[in-house]
C-alpha cells in the first residue's frame, strides 16, 4: 500500500521522483509554487511547457524536471479558481488534479504535491486538503498494485503543515 505522508519545506528541494506544479492554464509559469518551480528548473522547462499547448482546469501534463536535481519529472496541474465556481464543481475539478497527477506518476516510486489551488486561486486550505486526502486515498484503493510507494503532501508554512497533518491523522 502506498504511504501518504506530510512534510514541510520547499518542493523544489524535496527529494521525490515526481513533483507536482500548481500551474496556470498556460503552463508557462506564474507566481507562488509555479514560479518557484520554473525558476528552479531553468529555461528548458519553459520550452518544454510551450510544447504542451496549455492545459484545462483539472488536467495534468508531465515534463522532465531539468535542473531540479531532486526530481525526475514535473507534473503540471491546473487547479480551479475557487471563487469563480460553486463548491461542488471546485471540488470535482480539484479532485481531478490529484487523480490525473497520480495517473501520470504511475511507474515512479514517489510523488509530492503542493496544496493545489490554495494560494492565489483562493481555495480554503481545510477544504482543499479534505479533497486532496479523499482523492488520494480513493486512488490508492483503486490502484493496489501501483508503483508509487510514497505520496507526500508538502506545506511551505507551519500553519499549512498543521492543517495537512490533521487531515491525515499524523
| Catalytic residue positions, numbered | 34
Query: Residue 3: exposed, middle, or buried by beta-carbon count in 10 A (0-12, 13-18, 19+)?
Result: exposed
Contacts of 122 (CB under 8 A, 6+ apart): 81, 82, 83
Residues 155 and 137: their CA atoms lie apart, in Å, by: 19
What are the φ and ψ backbone dihedral angles of 42, each rounded to 5 degrees? 90, 175
Which residues are registered as beta bridge partners of 23? 78
What number of other Cβ atoms are within 10 A of residue 60's Cβ? 23
Amino acid at each position: 500500500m502506498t504511504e501518504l505522508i506530510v512534510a514541510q519545506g520547499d518542493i523544489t528541494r524535496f527529494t521525490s521522483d515526481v513533483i507536482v506544479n500548481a500551474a496556470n492554464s498556460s503552463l508557462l509559469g506564474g507566481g507562488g509554487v509555479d514560479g518557484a518551480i520554473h525558476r528552479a528548473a531553468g529555461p528548458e522547462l519553459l520550452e518544454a511547457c510551450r510544447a504542451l499547448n496549455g492545459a484545462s482546469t483539472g488536467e495534468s501534463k508531465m515534463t522532465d524536471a531539468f535542473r531540479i536535481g531532486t526530481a525526475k519529472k514535473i507534473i503540471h496541474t491546473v487547479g480551479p479558481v475557487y471563487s469563480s465556481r460553486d463548491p461542488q464543481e471546485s471540488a470535482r475539478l480539484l479532485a481531478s488534479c490529484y487523480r490525473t497527477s497520480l495517473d501520470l506518476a504511475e511507474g515512479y516510486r514517489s510523488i509530492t504535491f503542493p496544496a493545489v489551488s490554495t494560494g492565489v486561486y483562493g481555495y480554503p486550505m481545510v477544504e482543499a486538503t479534505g479533497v486532496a486526502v479523499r482523492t488520494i486515498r480513493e486512488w490508492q484503493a483503486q490502484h493496489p498494485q501501483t508503483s508509487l510507494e510514497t505520496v507526500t503532501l508538502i506545506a511551505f508554512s507551519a500553519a499549512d503543515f498543521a492543517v495537512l497533518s490533521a487531515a491525515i491523522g499524523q
